[in-house]
Amino acid sequence: MHKVLITSVPFGQKDRKPIEILDSLSVDYEINKIGRKLSEDELESMIDDCTILIAGTEPITRKVMESAPNLKLISRIGIGLDNVDLKSAKDLGINVSYTPDAPAPAVSELTIGLMISIMRSIQIANMNMHQGNWNRFFGRRFDDLTIGIIGLGRIGKRVLDHLNGFRCKEILLSDLIEDHDIASKSNIRWVDKETIYSHSDLITLHIPLNSSTHNLIGSKEIAMMKDNVMLVNTSRGGIIDEIELYNGLKNGKIASAAMDVFEKEPYEGNLSTLDNCLITSHMGSMTEDCRSRMEVEATEEAARFIKGEKLELAVPKDEYEDL
């Protein structure tokens, strides 16, 4: 009999369908009772006799996998794979699946919301009002800005689609592969990352975290940027060096930043002390519809595995190529 461990939280709160799927399979399943992201040791202590892990962002390391000799499938709720040791999974014969399409609408919309918030100092105005201070702030508008998008995958393309409706002054794009069909408008062009750093008024990041993107933006890159640049990161923590981001915000080189993701979560760092840094709790995918879709898709993939059917959301082979 299969045993399923669900570590992602919340799970089945807004939509009972994932629970109903598991109940219909007559499998033994356990949902994370701690109610937060698990540490490596906590996960290791829970996973020993499981065959399937329906996972969140907790560290799924070789140590964790080796402590679960019966583990055959990791079904990841979400798109990021930086928390899964894919090489170890491959070595140990463990299948890995994910839900890459489900979170894209919610993350892209939050990205636009964060952009507007820091462009118009909405978070600072809100704090002032709650403190009894009536202050009005000058802001910026999209049609006066050059926006730089680094990463044109599922989420980055949606962000571009949204921005097209705001009549931006210019949109600069950078990715490993240039799709010239999406840069057909006169105000959109493909450039290298260095051009984005030096020419953009606002930069938004939509790339995976891996060895080549860790601390992609540090002191050198920030020094290349325009004075009073704005930064938004809804992709993965660790892509922006948080110490250098703090320094840039503190010394005024960076006018403002919005961060939904952090290298260590829950976040307890000093960015929380800065009024010009809007921080949120990795809530990009947390709309009712997108979260439900992620949970359902990950659970349906587990059901396919249990029934001996072909997996539909298996991580593609090219994700393993550089391991």
Gap between the Cα atoms of 298 and 303, Å rounded: 9
Q: Please state, in angstroms and rounded to a whole number, the distance separating the CA atoms of residues 160 and 171.
A: 8
Residue 18, φ and ψ in degrees, nearest 5: -60, -40
Choosing from 66, 194, 265, 309, the catalytic residue is 265
Element holding 232 (H helix, E strand): strand 229-233
206 carries an active-site annotation = no
Angle ∠(204,210,216) on CA atoms, nearest 5 = 45
Tokens 């020094």 correspond to 223
Q: Tell me which of 76, 158, 236, 291 is the catalytic residue.
A: 236
Residue 236 annotated in active site: yes
SS3 content of the chain, % helix, strand, coil (to 5): 35, 15, 45
How many CB atoms are closer than 10 A to CB 268? 9
Residue of 282, 293, 295, 300 marked catalytic = 282
Active site residue 199: no
The token pair that represents 152 in the structure block: 């044109």
**Cβ burial, residue 25 (10 Å; 0-12/13-18/19+):** middle
- Residues known to be catalytic: 236, 265, 282
